[in-house]
Amino acid sequence: MALIVQKFGGSSVADVSKIQNIAQKISKFYSDNNKIVVVVSAMGDSTDILLEMANEINSHPSSREMDMLLSTGEQVSIALLAMALDAINIPVISFTGSQVGIITDNIHCKARINKIVTDKITCALDENKVVIVAGFQGRTIENEITTLGRGGSDTTAVALATSLNADLCEIYTDVDGVYTTDPRIVKEAVKLNEITYDEMLELASLGAGVLHPRSVELAKLYNVPLSVRSSFSNEEGTKVVNTTLLEKEIVVTGVTRDLNVAKIGLFDVPDIPGIASKIFNFLANEHINVDMIVQSAMRNDLNDIAFTIPKDDLNKALEIINRIKDDIKISEVVYADDVAKVSIVGAGMITSPGVAAKMFKILADNNVNLKMISTSEIKVSCIVDADQADKSVQLLHESFNLANLK
């Protein structure tokens, strides 16, 4: 008997028949004498429909009311999934994030989980019920409804797995595991049987889209056994593990592409200590995640600073910068949202020099212009024109021989 947390994303609960399909899947695990906690996202495109109405009504909706609105999506899913399990005689109970005691900070739309009160869940598990928890949402100690931002349901699942000391956390999605790259871009992409937390973290951050980076970070921190599987098949997925034997041999494990990127350039920023910190603090205060930052060589005591942010945050970021622009004497602000981030990831890079150089050469030989470069111990990322992103991924996947990985 094991305690398993299973998370199903929006595409897995997109309609009535998919919800029934998932209920069947859960019932098999339940019948095998496991204790099951299920985390679900909002149905298919229901969140988009709500967002559309909100934006029609208010171009700058309050983030508190946005949380009030969006949290209804998962509440619909948990109720319907509970009804589907009940229909096949599986004892079940559903809880909203507020109800079950997922306590967050008070940053609406991007809240972080502070703690989870597990009493209600353990009590229901003791009664042999499947427990369904709404993903993506929680509440502050003042009982204000919050949401966790992008990929929040993954985070809910991992946080629950940690708090409940679960034996396994399974993330069900519409693909059957983690691939060397997006199979829609490179048809030779292969599924990985195992991947390290660190590699997954880089892949997740880079827009592989299978798992949210926050959830991987949390899983790594608390050593939660994580597995990525398909909602629509019974195949084994990809295990995310602490260390892997693969590390010895393989330098590059995956190639990713992220189109949700915008680039902002600030020209002629005075070279005064604290200026960069000031700019990025203003952005951080508005909860804009700055990703890559590049500062060019100084000319005449002036710096050029370029950085990337999620495309959604571009307008907000430009507003902030225009507000402080004169104050900190930036001569010009430029931006682009027709760019993409292409990255290679692999734990083996640490011990294999020249990987970045090989990447740059492959891209240069094929006339891909690199607009920004950023590296970590286990990844190299480049900003390229959006329309060259797929081509770059295909070239790198082939050149690093990823089709022959396992």
The reply on whether position 79 binds its own copies by CB under 8 A is yes
Which is nearer to its own copies, 142 or 249 (by Cβ)? 142
The binder of its own copies chosen from 3, 83, 185, 294 (CB under 8 A): 83
Binding piece for its own copies, criterion CB under 8 A, among 74-82, 121-129, 280-288, 374-382: 74-82
* Centroid of chain to Cα 160: 17
Q: Helix or strand or coil: residue 259?
A: coil
To its own copies, the closest distance from the beta carbon of 50 in angstroms equals: 7
Instruction: Please indicate if the annotation marks 184 as binding a ligand.
Output: yes
Torsion 361-367-372-377 (CA) sign: negative
Distance CA 242, CA 251 (A): 17
The closest alpha carbon to 356, from 396, 296, 404, belongs to 396
Tokens of 184: 């829609």
The reply on whether position 53 binds its own copies by CB under 8 A is yes
The closest alpha carbon to 208, from 170, 173, 244, belongs to 173
Rounded alpha-carbon distances, angstroms, from residue 346 to 92, 249, 255, 334:
41, 10, 9, 33
The reply on whether position 68 binds its own copies by CB under 8 A is yes
- Looking at the DSSP bridge assignments, the partners of residue 36 are 4
Distance CA 297, CA 303 (A): 7
Which is nearer to its own copies, 42 or 405 (by Cβ)? 42
Q: Helix or strand or coil: residue 262?
A: strand
Which is nearer to its own copies, 127 or 365 (by Cβ)? 127
To its own copies, the closest distance from the beta carbon of 216 in angstroms equals: 30
To its own copies, the closest distance from the beta carbon of 19 in angstroms equals: 6
Torsion 39-44-47-50 (CA) sign: negative
The closest alpha carbon to 230, from 4, 36, 74, 18, belongs to 18
Q: How many residues does the chain have?
A: 406
The binder of its own copies chosen from 102, 145, 266, 276 (CB under 8 A): 145
Instruction: Please indicate if the annotation marks 9 as binding a ligand.
Output: yes
Residues between 5 and 34 with contacts to its own copies, criterion CB under 8 A:
16, 19-20
The reply on whether position 356 binds its own copies by CB under 8 A is no
Torsion 360-340-46-114 (CA) sign: positive
Q: Helix or strand or coil: residue 254?
A: strand
Distance CA 353, CA 400 (A): 14
Distance CA 64, CA 224 (A): 31
The reply on whether position 75 binds its own copies by CB under 8 A is yes
The reply on whether position 373 binds its own copies by CB under 8 A is no
HSE at residue 278, side-chain half, CA atoms within 13 A, is: 15
The reply on whether position 94 binds its own copies by CB under 8 A is yes
Task: Find out whether 149 and 207 touch, Cβ atoms under 8 Å.
Answer: no
Distance CA 174, CA 120 (A): 30
Binding piece for its own copies, criterion CB under 8 A, among 92-100, 122-130, 241-249, 266-274: 92-100
Task: Find out whether 199 and 208 touch, Cβ atoms under 8 Å.
Answer: no
The reply on whether position 51 binds its own copies by CB under 8 A is no
The reply on whether position 80 binds its own copies by CB under 8 A is yes
The reply on whether position 394 binds its own copies by CB under 8 A is no
To its own copies, the closest distance from the beta carbon of 49 in angstroms equals: 10
The reply on whether position 99 binds its own copies by CB under 8 A is yes
Instruction: Please indicate if the annotation marks 338 as binding a ligand.
Output: no
Binding piece for its own copies, criterion CB under 8 A, among 33-41, 46-54, 320-328, 356-364: 46-54
To its own copies, the closest distance from the beta carbon of 48 in angstroms equals: 14
Which is nearer to its own copies, 156 or 381 (by Cβ)? 156
Task: Find out whether 156 and 102 touch, Cβ atoms under 8 Å.
Answer: yes
Q: How many residues bind its own copies (CB under 8 A)?
A: 37
The binder of its own copies chosen from 61, 225, 310, 348 (CB under 8 A): 61
The binder of its own copies chosen from 3, 11, 45, 66 (CB under 8 A): 66
Distance CA 274, CA 134 (A): 42
To its own copies, the closest distance from the beta carbon of 36 in angstroms equals: 17
Binding piece for its own copies, criterion CB under 8 A, among 60-68, 154-162, 223-231, 320-328: 60-68
Contact residues: its own copies, CB under 8 A: 16, 19-20, 50, 53-54, 56-59, 61-62, 64-66, 68-69, 71-72, 75-76, 78-80, 82-84, 86-87, 93-94, 96, 98-99, 143-145
Binding site as annotated, residues for ATP: 7-10, 173-174, 179, 184
